[in-house]
Structure 1
Amino acid sequence: MRKIRFTVKLILAVLLLTSCATNSPSTSTQKTINEEASWAYFYVKIENRVYIISENEDNLVEKENIGEQIGTVQEKYDYEEEEQQLTSTIVSNYLEEGTKLFAIKDVDPSIHIAIEKDEGIFIKATEKNSVPKKQKTN
């Protein structure tokens, strides 16, 4: 009889411990992982125009090619759902609030703009519809 009680208590203890020690992510953690992964690229949105941001060396803009400031990022959001709730005209899923945006001399701002990533360092952002589509190779 003692062995049976001991076995039952042991089984209950093991069940209790294993049920408390699950390593599955919480709902909020899973939501964050899914939503962050759903953005295909970083961008800044000015009114209804979306500029894709790519930080590679080809997209650096020399300071002497920077034109006038055209605005600053007003809001940064972390989830796609937030974008629908924002009322600002300049928002980004990557750039911090206050990041300055500039025209590039002799470049149509409907195609490219410059972003001051760090003090005196500018990167080019390309309007989404102006980005060349990758061709499939067979």
Structure 2
Amino acid sequence: MFQIEPLPASEFTHLSSLSDAELAQKGIQVHVSDGAFPCRVSLADAAEGTRVYLLNFEHQPGDTPYRSRHAIFVAEGAREYRPEPDTVPDAVANRLLSVRAFNQAHEIIDAEVVEGRALEGVIASFFDNPDVDYIHLHFARRGCYAAKVTRTAWT
């Protein structure tokens, strides 16, 4: 079983209190969604007309050669959404994904590119390997971090 993890809303709520000039000073761009901006907090495409922040985010802080940061979108006022275990949200399932399996030392030990609708099989295959500690999903076309996948307890 697996769980797709959103980014915590608490890390981004302060952005709405910043002026556009302050956001720009921090390298954060503001866009208006056309309905196809995938929010990493809500794990959904931001509704058309919603303000979204485009910012750089360190999604892989492990002190290894795989340490990484990349662009992400976060919708203004986004609420954290944790899907049911073994569920892939549409904003993830509808995109081409780069799926990267990491061990406890935060090193990539397996990777695959897959259409999002086939993600469950890749996750199951990666988690069959006991050395896989967690998985990162990236939107393959632009390389942006999408979400983290963890194991859930078998019930």
TM-score by length of 2: 0.26
TM-score by length of 1: 0.29
* Structure possessing the higher radius of gyration over alpha carbons: 1
| Higher percent of residues as helix | 1
| Higher percent of residues as strand | 2
